[in-house]
Amino acid sequence: MQLTITVLGNKSIKFLAEILSVITSCNCSVLEIRSSNLAQTTASYLLVDGNWNQIAKLETLLDNLQKRLEIQIHTLRPDSDSSPKKSTGIAYSLETISVDHSNIIEDITNFLFERNICIEEINASSYQAPYIQTPIFSTKFILLIPPEVRLLLLREEFLDFCDNQNIDAIIEPIKR
């Protein structure tokens, strides 16, 4: 049985070590973990595995930990009744950079979703350009492009979209 855990807390609180300790004490194992600092907040995402009894015990201990450390913990048990859908397609990296204006990330994600492109991961940030102090917005996506999507047509449509939005972009396959 698996459990997904999302944790938000103040950056000054070192809660991740305590969460990992609780997971270990319940005889569960971490399958995947990601953690990032966002301003003065730390966000962590974990995928944990264990039997139903271990997961139930972990959920109780996480609730106690949430109250003690004054952090936010949300858990979700992935649906185990249906077999997981295996994603198929070609992994691509997509990077963009542009002058920061509203709706950039929304416009890009809508473009991709309209073409049934699976977004596996998004990283984005806004910063001041050196020398001219103009706000810049950059993104990096990891995409899974289904086999039925014509890659040359997708690339052409996306680059036209970027030209219209004044976005500089690179889309290329991920080589593993």
- Dump pLDDT digits (tens) for 74-94: 999 887 655 455 667 889 999
Whole-number pLDDT of residue 48: 95
**C-alpha span between 1 and 12 (Å, rounded):** 32
Q: Considering the chain, what is the average pLDDT of its residues?
A: 88
Q: Say whether pLDDT at 44 is over 60.
A: yes
Whole-number pLDDT of residue 96: 94
Predicted TM-score of the model (pTM): 0.69
- Tens-place pLDDT, residues 102-126: 788 899 999 999 999 999 999 888 8
Q: What is the 3-state secondary structure (H, E, C) of the chain?
A: CEEEEEEEEECCCCHHHHHHHHHHHCCCEEEEEEEEEECCEEEEEEEEECCHHHHHHHHHHHHHHHHHHCCEEEEECCCCCCCCCCCCCEEEEEEEEEECCCCHHHHHHHHHHHCCCEEEEEEEEEEECCCCCCEEEEEEEEEEECCCCCHHHHHHHHHHHHHHHCCEEEEEECCC
Whole-number pLDDT of residue 145: 92
Q: Between the CA of residue 45 and those of 7, 112, 123, 138, 171, what are the distances in Å?
A: 6, 24, 14, 23, 27
Average pLDDT of the segment spanning 33-46: 88
- Tens-place pLDDT, residues 138-169: 999 999 999 899 999 999 999 999 999 999 99
Share of the chain above pLDDT 70, in %: 95
